[in-house]
Structure 1
Amino acid sequence: MSLPRTMRAVLQPSASSTDLTLTTAPLPTPERNSTEHLIRVHACALCAGELLWPKNFPPAKPRELIPCPDIAGTIVSAPEGSPFRVGDEVYARTNYIRPGNARDYTIGVTDELALRPKGLSWAESAAIPVSAETAWQILFIHAGIVVDGDTDIAAAREAWKGKRVLVTAASGGVGMWVTQLLAKLLGATVIGTCGPDNVSLVQSLGAGEVLNYRETNLLEWGARPGNKVDVVIDCIGRKSLEDAWWTVRDGGVVLSIFQPPTQVRPEDYRGEGVRDVFFVMEPNRKHLEEITKLVEQGKCRPMVDSVWPLEQFHEAFKRLDGGHARGKIVLDLSLNQ
């Protein structure tokens, strides 16, 4: 197919600046003898805090700072031996070592790509990968409840059965995936925290109890008889994570995707045998394929907060920074073209 010589791209000028600009750039070129695919981007999703990543987590090799790690698009070119063909509709959370996907064409490698779920819009597809894969890796690897990496759903359900789990920011991008996978797939009892406007949403995802963080003090809540949990899954960090330490029973787990939990462990905390976990998700094709199956079976679903044309990236990031999005904020690159 005939390709343009240039494309639109949203660029972060430097690691120390979050003032994005829209520019014109040449198309990326897949490396020869690699697993790189050229992909026409139809939609990409914003990720909370991502404009701070280049400063806090500098890429190993200098690269263009293009945001949006989630992508849904069409394969334009594929390397020899690839399981994907030209024209395949795919989605992924692409690796941080390469520029992101707020551009008309991007690069994705075999081990991070999967065919996107049938029946979804491009925006809904782009809303899935980073949040869902993070949730999957929490529940099937890092929480330590199931055998590391075992994706047998029946075995995982047995392992999680009867567990009480506190999920902070349960209405956020990762939190809503953790909540629905735990409650509807694995059969755990979920206690989710959120703001007053999202209580009904978190209930609909399967949470057995919803705590309005503006009215409920986790320290006090955790001190009440019967409220202790087996696992804390923290998606927000800071004060929320600090207070969540008081909710876990001895021998339990405090896991955060925001920061190492020990950074905010209360000085007078005296719990015993509690394991703390912090990790950064890694794109994984097999995990995304498992999530695709669950979405197509109707066992879990993405949620899109809003969809914006690429040219309105400033408004999209402003919506993200406001902290009140219900689901993912997506850039649709077909709008305004």
Structure 2
Amino acid sequence: MPKAYVFTRFGGPETEALVDQERPSPGPGELLVAVRAAGVNPVDWKQRSGYARPGQVARELPAVFGNEAAGVVEEVGEGVTGFAVGDEVFGNPVAGGYAAYALLPVAVTAHKPEEISFTDAAALPVAAATAYDGIRQLDLPAGATLLITGVGGGVGVAAAQIARAFGLKVVGTASAGKKDFVESLGAVHVPSGPDFVAGVRAAAPDGVDAVYDLIGGEVLEAAAELLADRTKLITAGGKDIVGRLGGAAVARARTAAILDEVARLVVDGKLNPLVTQTFPLARAAEALRTVEDGHARGKIVIEVVG
């Protein structure tokens, strides 16, 4: 039977299991996709721990991990237009992508350009699309300086490249060991840690025009002090406190059109998903630990053998 990597209850890694899964059937507006690759993101383990976006329906258990996938259309649901069996696609699964098969709603599914591998495409629907939405939300003029906290992870890597494509100067915080990696993105590296604000001021003596925060907590609060205009403070990591700081959470569009735009940046050579490690589905636990432990560099992807 087809395999899927699931969590059987809310909690820690002890709730995870690789299980047999019945092949699902697509409902109206859905595609059944034979998964070739699935991206791994921090939100995956957070959902296992019980996290849900405001207004989001609680996951039915056991729940399949994963929020981004790429593969080949096997079946199309009622009312679906613009997609056919055999199409190569990528998008946000209805309920999990760490599996041999996944259901993708057409509203957040795009055709995969032939120039992009399944592995790279699977890195786009969450991380790169979140990065894109945030850069668009800030709406900075070319030449402005953007600080990205936590630039070394999946969203940060994409945000730095997209910002550079839009003509922005980028300063990014990350561990000292990621200096060369961050600089390869076209960003100025500032070591993370208690003194990062001083490092940012030294790297950008004329100040920063905006902050894209991916850490939250004390890092977000400290970064806010660097801005004269707090409306240019956005976060994907500290939604609980950003309002009182005068900023806002990243406003996610979650549309197929955004996925098309992100894929075009990849095709045009302006965005490299920078998948730094891949794991087979049988080693999904290792892939998830790499991200959950906070040491991932770039994107981690699970590859499913077709």
TM-score by length of 2: 0.89
1:53 aligns to what?
A: 47
Distance 1:219 1:109 in 2: 46
Are residue 117 (structure 1) and residue 113 (structure 2) matched?
Answer: yes
Aligned pair 1:167/2:148, yes or no?
A: yes
Q: Does 1:294 align with 2:273?
A: no
- Report runs of 4+ in structure 1 exceeding 4 Å deviation: 219-225
2:205 maps to 1:226? yes
Pairing 1:104–2:110 present: no
Report what 1:258 is aligned to. Answer: 237
Q: CA RMSD in A?
A: 2.4
1:238-282: CA deviations, max 9, x gaps? Answer: 2211211121124552111112273697xxxxxxxx740114635
Residues 1:16 and 1:322: Cα distance change in structure 2 (over 3 Å): closer
Trace 1:150-299 onto structure 2 (pairs within 5 A): 159-183=140-164, 185-207=165-187, 209-214=188-193, 216-218=195-197, 221-222=200-201, 226-250=205-229, 252-260=231-239, 262=241, 275-279=246-250, 281-299=252-270
SS of residue in 2 equivalent to 1:38: strand
Aligned to 1:15: 10
The corresponding residue for 2:92 is 93
Asked which structure has the greater RCO (Cα within 8 Å, sep 6+), the reply is 2
The structure-2 alpha-carbon separation of the partners of 1:244 and 1:261, relative to structure 1 and needing over 3 Å to count, comes to farther
How many equivalent residue pairs?
A: 300
What do residues 273-294 of structure 1 show as CA deviations (whole Å, max 9, x unaligned)?
Answer: x740114635310001011111
- Give, in whole Å, the separation in 1 of the partners of 2:107 and 2:43: 25
Superimposed CA distance per residue, residues 41-61 of structure 1 (whole angstroms, 9 cap, x where no aligned partner): 011011114222251217415
* 187-196 or 198-207, larger mean C-alpha shift: 198-207
Partner Cα separation in structure 2 for residue 264 and residue 35 of structure 1: 35
- Whether the aligned pair in 1 keeps the contact of 2:124 and 2:259 (CA below 8 Å) is no
Gap change, CA 1:126 and 1:62, over 3 Å in 2: closer
Give the Cα–Cα distance (whole angstroms) in 2 for the partners of residues 87 and 308 of structure 1.
Answer: 25
Separation in 2, partners of 1:85, 1:103: 21
Out of 301, 308, 315, the residue aligned to residue 279 of structure 2 is 308
Shift of 1:224: 9.4
Q: What is the aligned partner in structure 2 of residue 73 from structure 1?
A: 71
Counterpart secondary structure, 1:329: strand
Describe the SS at the equivalent of 2:232: strand
**C-alpha displacement of 1:106:** 0.8
Where 1:57 maps in the other structure, the secondary structure is coil
Distance in 2 between residues matched to 1:167 and 1:300, nearest whole Å: 16
Secondary structure of 1:291 counterpart: helix
The TM-score, its normalising length taken from structure 1, stands at 0.82
Distance in 1 of aligned mates of 2:103 and 2:90 = 11
User: Aligned partners of 2:215 and 2:70: how far apart in 1?
Assistant: 26
Per mean C-alpha deviation after superposition, the further-off stretch among 80-89 and 277-286 is: 277-286
How much has 1:9 moved relative to structure 2? 0.9
